[in-house]
Amino acid sequence: MESKVLSIAPAPSPTPSAVPASSDETTDWNLQSPDAKSPAPPTTSSTPLSAQEIRRWRPAAQRNLRNQWSKLASLRTQWLSLSSTARSYATYVVNSYLSQRYMDAMELGILKEIPDIRKKACRKLFKQQETNRSKLLSSYKDMVCTLRICGFTS
């Protein structure tokens, strides 16, 4: 995956020949969101951008980049929290399942004298498994929602 590095420090104004003219190259210049204050420079392939238009657009693009970066940092923190929670729920589901599956082989000591203790324990483990499964699904949905906010899914 190729990444592009954008300079945030003021750069010398480009000459008209350095400004991209084709429509494929001009998409690199359109980093500004639709809700930003100043408009993005025109991207028609027939007229190259003037140095003055680029200088006027650059501060808005830099501000937009800073705003998007803080938003991504916040969403990353949210993602890490949600994934940790989901991992815990997944662990609970697996542990409940395994405990239920191997209940017959467990040594219960003095508790084995209680009537139907294994059936009651299996029922309780099954309920825990179902509860944690629904919480895991909910965490997964929250993670997908976070990805949609980032714009990684459609």
Residue 33 above 50 pLDDT? no
CA distance linking residue 132 with residue 90, whole number of Å = 7
What's the pLDDT at 45? 59
CA distance linking residue 81 with residue 143, whole number of Å = 10
pTM for the model: 0.54
Nearest alpha carbon to residue 83 among 132, 136, 129: 136
Q: Is 13 helix (H, G, I), strand (E, B) or coil?
A: coil
What's the pLDDT at 135? 94
Distance of CA 6 to the CA centre of its chain: 22
Range with top average pLDDT, 5-19, 52-66, 128-142: 128-142
Range with top average pLDDT, 17-26, 35-44, 85-94: 85-94
Report DSSP state, residue 60: H
Structure tokens at 28: 């690199």
Nearest alpha carbon to residue 49 among 64, 61, 33: 61
